[in-house]
A and B are shown apart, each in its own frame.
Chain A
């Protein structure tokens, strides 16, 4: 079992209990997670092909052009797992630019749908490389809003090292589990702000046999997931 496979299952767990809502994602591992959740414990989830087609068990089942995605966002019937170039302890996220917005040192994507997503429906994040460059004290441009700015719900952050959530009194970030082979100290060293660390940090659950078979034989037989974690 590989780290990437653990991450696919950790991403899938983000959608557990969500019902018939749209599971959107940026990145291959969250996409595999959404499809795995749909194929196992969350069969009602709607999953898109990233364009305008809804997929169930890998087959087309509906139409969802961008304008309908915006309606789904506004209706709150969605849970997206986005990426983040920067993320702070309350879940404020930046994908827009690094440096001062007026003249950035590095222009990235702009805010995309992050402002609308974070005030309308649950949002989680996928960070393929957990580092102090991503987990910062303060983001340069608040694209996705965090809990201190009235986010609807930032649910979990899945990284290549750990799963984090916001189950604290002030809804700041907490370490939920570390992936097999990763220590709490590894996560602390890779995080640029003070995390809440429970006394007992369990390991992230490992994929079961059925999940491994689905990932390896059906969802990603070419193993592209292994290249998303570097």
Chain B
């Protein structure tokens, strides 16, 4: 199963849902993501076969320790694209196109390590050769927003929408978790229309997960929990898992408040 996860690095990740996926016992997942601790948690839990990404970073901690270890030990596969190529692959899938042309990737080792990538030549007078970035269709997309109604209309309140709308448009099944569920009227009154990132046609399920992006940032509701992220990055996996992940989401939220 191919899962797309919204957010960016250690920013507005649907972490409550990531924890639920971790507990679900599903295996052999392919993750498509601008990678952060979502990758690290699921890779460390041993349930990921392939990561499709342009980077994996905790932002304030540049390198993701679990991803690094898995790569060095050869326990996961990686499909590594330029960040803009990943965007283009999602955009192609959202538009039901087999590919979209892009310059990014030309001349780089992205073409060497992804031998299935092809180029395409402009049929017009310019005759430009471009990368034919293939669509990245998703089975499931998970995104986390600040506000939503129960029907699947959702709003972000922070400075960046990231690519959460595209993840939904590229996926067969779409789940939106949020900090607060509101009536549609309250949701409409909560900000300008252009921050309503997703609508009902793009979402199949809404989950109310307060503090559900923890420990990534979800501004303006809360910033990144830097102290906790530091603990995550420096604690051995079995200890961390036993301390925070063996129970349910309520246990997690209780444990991180201590």
Chain A interfacial positions (CB closer than 8 Å to B): 51-53, 63, 65-67, 70, 73-74, 96-97, 101-116, 118-120, 141-145, 149-151
Contacts and interface: CB of A to CB of B under 8 A. Distances in A.
Nearest to A93: B108
A65 B83 contact: no
A107 B83 CA distance: 17
Given A52-B159, A115-B104, A143 B109 contact: yes
Given A65-B161, A73-B84, A104-B72, A145 B108 contact: yes
Interface of B: 8, 35, 53-57, 62-63, 67-68, 71-74, 78, 80-85, 87, 102-110, 112-113, 159-163
A108 B72 contact: no
Given A52-B159, A67-B87, A107 B106 contact: no
Contact of A119 (B53, B56, B74, B103): B103
A210 to B, nearest CB: 32
A101 B110 CA distance: 10
Which of A74, A107, A114, A141 gathers most chain B CB within 10 Å?
A: A107
Nearest to B80: A110
Nearest to A105: B72
A115 B105 contact: yes
Contacts of A97: 71
A53 B159 contact: yes
7 contacts: A66-B160, A70-B84, A96-B109, A107-B67, A120-B104, A141-B113, A149-B107
Contacts of A145: 106-108
B184 to A, nearest CB: 25
Contacts of B72: 103-107
Given A96-B80, A107-B68, A116 B105 contact: yes
A70 B83 contact: yes
A142 B54 contact: no
A108 B72 CA distance: 10
Contacts of B67: 107
Nearest to A52: B159
A164 to B, nearest CB: 21
B163 to A, nearest CB: 7
A65 B161 CA distance: 7
Contacts of A107: 63, 67-68, 71-72
Contact of B108 (A53, A70, A102, A142): A142
Nearest to B109: A142
Given A107-B71, A110-B55, 18 more contacts: A51-B159, A52-B159, A70-B83, A101-B80, A101-B109, A107-B67, A109-B63, A110-B54, A111-B54, A111-B55, A111-B81, A111-B110, A113-B84, A115-B108, A119-B107, A119-B108, A142-B108, A149-B108
Contact of A113 (B54, B109, B112): B54
A118 B71 CA distance: 26
A213 to B, nearest CB: 30
A116 B103 contact: yes
Contact of A112 (B55, B73, B113): B55
A112 B110 CA distance: 11
A150 B108 CA distance: 10
